[in-house]
Chain A
Amino acid sequence: MINILKFYMILIFSFMITPQSYVFADNQSLNKDEIINKTREISQNIRCLVCRNQSIDESNSELAKDLRVLIKGKIIDGLSDKEIYNYLSNRYGDYILLNPPFKTNTILLWLLPFLILISGCFVMIKFLKK
């Protein structure tokens, strides 16, 4: 039982890390199609500040178009995903990112579910022993 739990913890952890992999993505030397795909991928993670429930990939507003052009330019310049997200959040705040970053003020956000699960497991095991 304990081994199953250990295996499962590792699985969860790897799932949680995977979305953060954009941190390591480097954008040097992409071909034309890859640039377009990468622009769309990043744009899908940026909020349109005019129509606030859409990403700039979906939105038709002027600002969305300008930002898409900007992002494409930055990719061609070779900036990494993380550098591009930082560029935007430095000017517009974390609100423009559709996914919460992993910073000091969001540590609780990312870790709480995990913590709840573990403490829940402990309570359950205690209950089972009774």
Chain B
Amino acid sequence: MIPEIGHILLIITFVSSFIQSIFWIITLGSRNTVNLIILQKFAVTNFILISSSFSILLYSFIISDFSLLIVTNNSHSLKPLIYKISGLWGNHEGSLMLWTLILTFFTYLISRNKSQISFKLLSSILGVQTIILFSFLAFILFTSNPFERLETPPIDGKGLNPLLQDPGLAFHPPILYLGYVGLSVSFSFAVAALITGEINQIWARQIRPWITIAWSALTLGIALGSWWAYYELGWGGWWFWDPVENASFMPWLIATALLHSVRLLETRLILVSWTVLLAILGFSFSLLGTFIVRSGLLTSVHAFATDPSRGIFILIILTIATGVPLILYAIRSSDLYTEKKIEFSVFSKETALLINNLFLSTATLTILIGTLYPLFLDAFNGEKISIGPAYYNATFAPIMAPVILIMAIAPFLNWGTKINNNFSKKILFIIFITVLGALVLSMIKGATLFSIVCGSLSIWLFSGVLINFISQTKLNNLKKGEFRSWLNQLINNNLGMHIAHLGVAVFLAGITGEQFFKTEINGRKNIGDIIKIGDRFLKFDDIKFESGPNYKSEMAIFTLSKNNNLIDTLKPEKRFYPVQQTQTTEAAILSEFFGDTYLVLGDGNKEIGWSVRLYYNPLVSWIWGGACLMALGGIISIFRNRKTKPNIIIRNTI
């Protein structure tokens, strides 16, 4: 009975969002502010309805109600509670419910906006969000109903893939969806701007936190997914340029470009139509990603159950959701024009941000080409090719390199035509440190040209961030006694940006270490053998057989020591999950600041020994750490509240 209520709630919301959409379209030309209030009330209602429906689904998972198809397919009575919960969104139907929940929540938050934003703009934003809600509910109700019942419920569920029973992977989807849905908000802002013809600095100020939240969430979500792959898949790989990974990376790149473009818009009111285009495309890429993953278009180890009819439905949503705004854009964007001409020199922040946007967009298109090209070629003449890391190293990497270079120096460029006095001094300092660093790198064993370039880029960025932070902090009148106002000044002086850029530098350093200076030892070892890693010794002590809640494991015990002092015990395992009939390897990883010791157990027995793979991955934690810093920087920057003077007005057309 209860799940039916959940289903009915969905239907009610579906009808309600339909009515709202019609209402909004009808009242588009009107100047009556009551319409906005009605839309706001609707937003609250939608949120309440969907969260109730979601809670019912959640409840069904928690009590293991196997009369629901979704619970049977994705849960099992033996699963720990947290994985029963995360099993809700680890599949197609459930993930859509989660997406819709976040969508209604964000819409509700927008409806509470009390800033100076015009009521027409706000109504349109809410209107567009509602149409998105309507489309997703249509998709759910017609092709992906989570509340579908089973005629004869089984005694127990089919369990979940043991690979997915994991803290990293449990939180990867929700965080990622926060990002995707956040991009839908900026999308709505952009479309609303096209419809109402209103874009100004207030618009930019209001959209910025949403883009930032989306960007930070995407950063964390992608990093979490990669980190999971690193420790779960057993060979230390963390990025494969897989279509699904690319599908999450492209929105991230666009969000980064958008973040910077909006900054430009907010301060100098240029790149208006470009920013609008980016905001539209950000959400389109999120939808495109959804499409690729669920449609059977591209097979991938990641892909959800592939179903062409669902794919066609999403394709239709994608076409309308992107096509209509793009048509609007082609027609209306020339009306969003600023009348004041601004000037800026070649060595200005404006130029830097322009270049940043150009290169980031090209990088995004490059990844799109790499992801879709095999598909197109296959459709064209049936030939199948694959696009692997070498392609992206040859195209994506060289395109991103200038972005890194500029990232370090842009913060101390000025707006407009003012030239910074200390500019040349600062650049020389950065160049000096980088050349020094490059020399040091070239002396490390195993250094190649690529590794030196990558490492140097990281050092370049590190020194840039350092210089910028010092010079910006010096500009403050630091009254050390007053901590709060000091912190406030720091934040207003771009602390968020510094931390985020620092995060990129750390990330790059991590890549350099992990990719280029990794060492591997492969072989057959038996109990009692000792492997030497640098100045440490890894001793194979024992093999044990253990049982977990839903698996049996063969576990090796290794002890790592230096100078006869125990550093740690590593226990790589091979697990067998009887319900799923699958075997997984659990690598033993010792994560330290300067690198990971990564140990994998293979097949074997007491007679011939076991096949063992040992990696040392220098600086690999810096990859995840860098991403966390980036997200942290993003979140801090939300609290930046410099008052921008809206002294440039755009001609409004309706």
Nearest CB on A from B4, distance (A)? 40
> Which residues of A in the span 1-43 have a Cβ within 8 Å of any Cβ on B?
1, 8, 11-12, 15-16, 18-19
Q: Does B373 contact A (CB under 8 A)?
A: yes
Q: Does A61 contact B (CB under 8 A)?
A: no
B378's nearest neighbour on chain A, judged by CB, is A95
B358 with A120: CB separation less than 8 A: yes
B354 with A124: CB separation less than 8 A: yes
Nearest CB on A from B127, distance (A)? 32
> Which residues of A in the span 70-120 have a Cβ within 8 Å of any Cβ on B?
93-95, 97-101, 105-106, 108-110, 112-114, 116-117, 120
A18 with B394: CB separation less than 8 A: yes
Interface string of B323-353 (1 = CB under 8 A from A): 0000000000000000000000010000100
B301 with A98: CB separation less than 8 A: no
The range of chain B's interface size is 35 or more
Q: Does B365 contact A (CB under 8 A)?
A: yes
> Which residues of A in the span 43-76 have a Cβ within 8 Å of any Cβ on B?
45, 47, 52-53, 58
B369 with A98: CB separation less than 8 A: no
The segment from B62-70, B136-144, B304-312, B384-392 found at the interface with A is B384-392
The range of chain A's interface size is 35 or more
A105 with B399: CB separation less than 8 A: no
A99 with B301: CB separation less than 8 A: no
B300, B359, B377, B390: which contacts A99 (Cβ < 8 A)?
B390
Q: A53-B301, A94-B384 are in contact. Are A15 and B398 (CB under 8 A)?
A: yes
Complex: how many Å from CA A14 to CA B369? 21
Nearest CB on B from A15, distance (A)? 4
Complex: how many Å from CA A114 to CA B399? 9
- Which residues of B are found within 8 Å of A18, using beta-carbon distances? 394, 449-450
Complex: how many Å from CA A127 to CA B242? 36
B299's nearest neighbour on chain A, judged by CB, is A52
Q: Which one of A94, A98, A124, A128 has the highest number of Cβ atoms from chain B below 10 Å of its Cβ? A: A98
Complex: how many Å from CA A45 to CA B393? 13
B362 with A120: CB separation less than 8 A: yes
A14's nearest neighbour on chain B, judged by CB, is B398
- Which residues of B are found within 8 Å of A45, using beta-carbon distances? 388, 390
- 6 closest A-B pairs (Cβ-Cβ)? A98-B388, A99-B390, A95-B384, A113-B366, A15-B398, A53-B301
A53 with B395: CB separation less than 8 A: no
Complex: how many Å from CA A121 to CA B388? 27
Complex: how many Å from CA A15 to CA B397? 9
B603's nearest neighbour on chain A, judged by CB, is A60
- Which residues of A are found within 8 Å of B394, using beta-carbon distances? 15-16, 18-19, 110
- Which residues of A are found within 8 Å of B449, using beta-carbon distances? 18
Q: Does B361 contact A (CB under 8 A)?
A: yes
A19 with B366: CB separation less than 8 A: no
Complex: how many Å from CA A1 to CA B354? 15
B384 with A58: CB separation less than 8 A: no
Q: Does B154 contact A (CB under 8 A)?
A: no
- Which residues of A are found within 8 Å of B80, using beta-carbon distances? none
- Which residues of A are found within 8 Å of B361, using beta-carbon distances? 120
- Which residues of B are found within 8 Å of A97, using beta-carbon distances? 385-386, 388
Nearest CB on A from B103, distance (A)? 31
Nearest CB on B from A107, distance (A)? 11
Q: Does B235 contact A (CB under 8 A)?
A: yes
Complex: how many Å from CA A18 to CA B623? 25
- Which residues of A are found within 8 Å of B397, using beta-carbon distances? 15
Complex: how many Å from CA A8 to CA B300? 36
- Which residues of A are found within 8 Å of B384, using beta-carbon distances? 93-95
B387 with A100: CB separation less than 8 A: yes
A11 with B398: CB separation less than 8 A: yes
Q: Does B402 contact A (CB under 8 A)?
A: yes
Complex: how many Å from CA A52 to CA B399? 29
Complex: how many Å from CA A100 to CA B365? 18
A53, A99, A105: which contacts B387 (Cβ < 8 A)?
A99
- Which residues of B are found within 8 Å of A109, using beta-carbon distances? 369-370, 373, 387, 391
- Which residues of B are found within 8 Å of A98, using beta-carbon distances? 386, 388-390
A105 with B383: CB separation less than 8 A: yes
> Which residues of B in the span 365-417 have a Cβ within 8 Å of any Cβ on A?
365-366, 369-370, 373, 377, 381, 383-391, 393-399, 401-402
Q: Does B240 contact A (CB under 8 A)?
A: yes
Question: Can you list 9 pairs linking A and B with CB atoms under 8 Å apart?
Answer: A15-B394, A16-B395, A19-B394, A45-B388, A98-B388, A106-B385, A116-B366, A120-B361, A124-B358
> Which residues of B in the span 213-257 have a Cβ within 8 Å of any Cβ on A?
235, 237, 240, 242
Q: Which one of B299, B346, B386 has the highest number of Cβ atoms from chain A below 10 Å of its Cβ? A: B386
A99 with B388: CB separation less than 8 A: yes
Complex: how many Å from CA A51 to CA B370? 21
A105 with B395: CB separation less than 8 A: no
Nearest CB on B from A76, distance (A)? 20
Nearest CB on A from B549, distance (A)? 27
B395's nearest neighbour on chain A, judged by CB, is A113
Q: A95-B384, A105-B383 are in contact. Are A19 and B365 (CB under 8 A)?
A: no
- Which residues of A are found within 8 Å of B398, using beta-carbon distances? 11-12, 15-16
Nearest CB on A from B605, distance (A)? 17
Complex: how many Å from CA A105 to CA B242? 21
A94 with B383: CB separation less than 8 A: yes
- Which residues of A are found within 8 Å of B377, using beta-carbon distances? 105-106
B385's nearest neighbour on chain A, judged by CB, is A94
Nearest CB on A from B25, distance (A)? 35
Known: A100-B388, A106-B373, A113-B396. 8 other contacts (CB 8 A): A11-B398, A12-B399, A94-B383, A94-B384, A94-B385, A97-B386, A99-B387, A120-B358
B242 with A100: CB separation less than 8 A: no
- Which residues of B are found within 8 Å of A58, using beta-carbon distances? 235, 237
- Which residues of B are found within 8 Å of A108, using beta-carbon distances? 373
Q: A16-B394, A18-B394, A53-B240 are in contact. Are A95 and B369 (CB under 8 A)?
A: no
Complex: how many Å from CA A19 to CA B389? 10
Q: Which one of B381, B387, B390 has the highest number of Cβ atoms from chain A below 10 Å of its Cβ? A: B390
- Which residues of B are found within 8 Å of A94, using beta-carbon distances? 383-386
A100 with B369: CB separation less than 8 A: no
Complex: how many Å from CA A47 to CA B401? 29
A100, A121, A127: which contacts B391 (Cβ < 8 A)?
A100
Complex: how many Å from CA A16 to CA B395? 7
A121 with B383: CB separation less than 8 A: no
Q: A15-B398, A16-B394, A53-B242 are in contact. Are A116 and B387 (CB under 8 A)?
A: no
Complex: how many Å from CA A94 to CA B387? 10
Complex: how many Å from CA A116 to CA B369? 11
A116 with B385: CB separation less than 8 A: no
- Which residues of A are found within 8 Å of B242, using beta-carbon distances? 53
Nearest CB on B from A127, distance (A)? 8
Nearest CB on B from A48, distance (A)? 11
